[in-house]
Amino acid sequence: MAALHSQLLPGISVGSSCSSDNKFSLRNSNNNKGGLVEVAAVAAVSQTWFTGRVSEHWHSDAFRLFSRQAVEKSQSLRVLKRAATMTVVASTNGTNGAAVHVDTTISPRVAALKPSKTMAIADKATALVQAGVPVIRLAAGEPDFDTPGPIVEAAVEALRQGFTRYTPNAGTLEIRQAICHKLKEENGLSYTPDEILVSNGAKQSVMQAVVAVCSPGDEVIVPSPFWVSYPEIARLADATPVIVQTSITDNFILKPESLSAVLNEKSRVLILCSPSNPTGAVYPRKTLEAIAAIVAKHPRLLVISDEIYEHIIYSPARHISFASLPGMWERTFTVNGFSKAFAMTGWRLGYLAAPKHFVVACNRLQSQLTSGASSISQKAGVAALGLGYAGGEAVATMVKAFLERRDFLVQRLQALDGVKLSVPEGAFYLFPDFSAYYGTEVEGFGKIHDAETLCRFFLERAKVALVPGDAFGNGCCVRISYAASMEELTTAIESIESVMPLLKPATALSK
C-alpha cells in the first residue's frame, strides 16, 4: 500500500496501522521539520469474506484532513485534497495472492453534489411499503394518473412499425415541428425546428442550458424555494448559485427589487419556474414584466424559464411564457416537457426552445452525453401534442382532479393551529409552514428541531411521507404532493391531524 501511496502522493510518505481508530498518517518528506498530518478515517471499514478458491479482504478507507497548519505546510494542497477523498480498495487477485490496489477517488465536483432529498425520502417510503408498513407516499413529484390512452397507442404502433432506431440528435423533425406549433398556438412564441432541442426530460434541458452558457465564476440566480436540482446544476457547471429568498406572505413570488439587489457583472442566468415546484406559485404578468425590465439592463443575463407545470394551473391564474415578453425572446431558454401534464414521467421526454446559437451549443453537448431521446417516446410526444389545446380533455380531467384535491387539503391544513399556508395556483404541491412547532418535545420521539425531524415524526407516527422544506431552500416548510387519490389524501390528513396533539409547543399558537 505504501508503494501505491508513493505514486499517488509524490513527496508524501504514508504510514498505516490496523489500530482500532483506523488512522493513517501522511508525512511531507520535503519538509525538514517533518510536519505530520494525521488523517482520520471517516468511513467505516467494511470486510467481506468469500468462501471458495479465492478469498478477498476488502478495505474501504476514507480520509479527512483536519490540520489546517499541516495542509499549509504540505507539498500541494491539491494533492492532499485528493488524499482527503481517496478510497483504496485492496484485495487478493488470482491464485498467487498478489495484492491489487485500486484508487476509487471520486471527482471533487461530483463528491460535492448533494443527493436529492425528494428521491431519498420517496425511496425510503417505498422501502417501508415493500416491508409491509402502510406508508402513504406524498413525497414524489409525479402524477398518479396513467398516461392517456392515445399516447400509449401511438408508442405501441411505433414499436409495431419498427420505429426503434436512433433519431437525429435534436429530435425527429416531426416532433420539433409539433413543438413549434404548440409554442405558437399556446404560448405566442415563434420558433423554427432548428431552434428546438428534444432531450431525455426537462431536467436534462435545464442542465445543458446552464452548462452551455456558464463559465467558471459566473452566477446563477435561483429564487427560493427552488426545485432541488437548480443549485446543484449550477455547481456542476462550475458556476455559483445565488439564492434569493422569497416570503410566504408574498406567495413565494420573487420581488423585482430583490432580484435587482443581487445582480452584478457575474450574473449569467436567472432561473424562473412558474407554476412553481415546490410552492405552486404562478407569476402574474405584471411581476414578470417588472422582472423583464430589470433583466434587460444586464446584457450578460439570460433566463431559463422552466414551464413544465404550465398546463396544471387553476383559474383565474394564467400562465405567461417569459420569452413572450418584449425583448426577452433573444435571451430566454424556454424549457418544457411531457412528464407532468401528460403523466409521462417514465417516458423521459423534454425540450428547450431558444435562439439557434444557444440550441446549437446545447445540441453539441447532448451529442456527447446521451444522444437523442428515445424514438418511441418521441412518437408518444407527438401524440400528446395532438390531444388538443393545452392537452385537451385528457389533461383537463387531470387538472380538475388536482384542483379538488388542492381545495380539500387547503381547507384541512388551514384548520391546523399554527400552520401558515399560501394557496397554490398551479402544479400539485402544497408548501405549508410548520415552523411554529419547531423546538417542541414529543414524548418517545424527541425534539422537533426542524423540517427534517418534523417529516421524520410524520413518517414514524402518522405513516405519511413528506419532504422537508430545506431541500428546497426554505426550512420553515414541508412539501406535500397531492398527486394521490382522494382516499389516500383523506387517510393522510387524518393521520397527520391525529398526531398533531403530540406536538406541544411551549407558547400558544396563533393562525
Label residues 374-413 b or e (16+ Cβ within 10 Å = b): bbbbbbbbbbbbebeebbeebbeebbebbbebbeebbebb
Residue-level pLDDT, tens digit, the chain, 511 residues? 444 333 433 443 333 333 333 333 333 434 443 333 333 332 332 233 223 333 333 333 333 333 334 334 444 444 444 544 455 555 555 556 677 889 999 998 888 888 777 777 777 888 888 888 899 999 988 999 999 999 999 999 999 999 999 999 999 999 999 999 999 999 999 999 999 999 999 999 999 999 999 999 999 999 999 999 999 999 999 999 999 999 999 999 999 999 999 999 999 999 999 999 999 999 999 999 999 999 999 999 999 999 999 999 999 999 999 999 999 999 999 999 999 999 999 999 999 999 999 999 999 999 999 999 999 999 999 999 999 999 999 999 999 999 999 999 999 999 999 999 999 999 999 999 999 999 999 999 999 999 999 999 999 999 999 999 999 999 999 999 999 999 999 999 999 999 999 997 645 565 5
Interatomic CA distance for residues 75 and 441, integer angstroms: 50
| CA dist., res. 297 & res. 494, Å (int) | 51
pLDDT at 126: 82
**Dist CA 39 CA 102 (whole Å):** 19
pLDDT of the residue at 9: 39
Phi, psi (degrees; rounded to nearest 5) at 433:
-95, 115
Q: What are phi and psi of 88, to 5 degrees?
A: -115, 125
Per-residue DSSP letter, 146: P
**Residues 460, 401, 391, 116, Cα dihedral to 10°:** -10
- The residues with which 480 forms a beta bridge, in sequence order, are 430
Which residues are bridge partners to 413 per DSSP?
none
The DSSP line for 54-111 is: ---------EEE--HHHHHHSS-HHHHHHHHT--EEEEEETTTTEEEEEE-PPPHHHH
Evaluate whether 103 touches 88 at the Cβ level (below 8 Å).
yes
Q: Which pLDDT score is estimated for 128?
A: 84
**Total-model pTM:** 0.81
**CA separation, residue 301 to residues 228, 263, 291, 296 (Å):** 22, 9, 12, 8
The type of residue at 165 is R
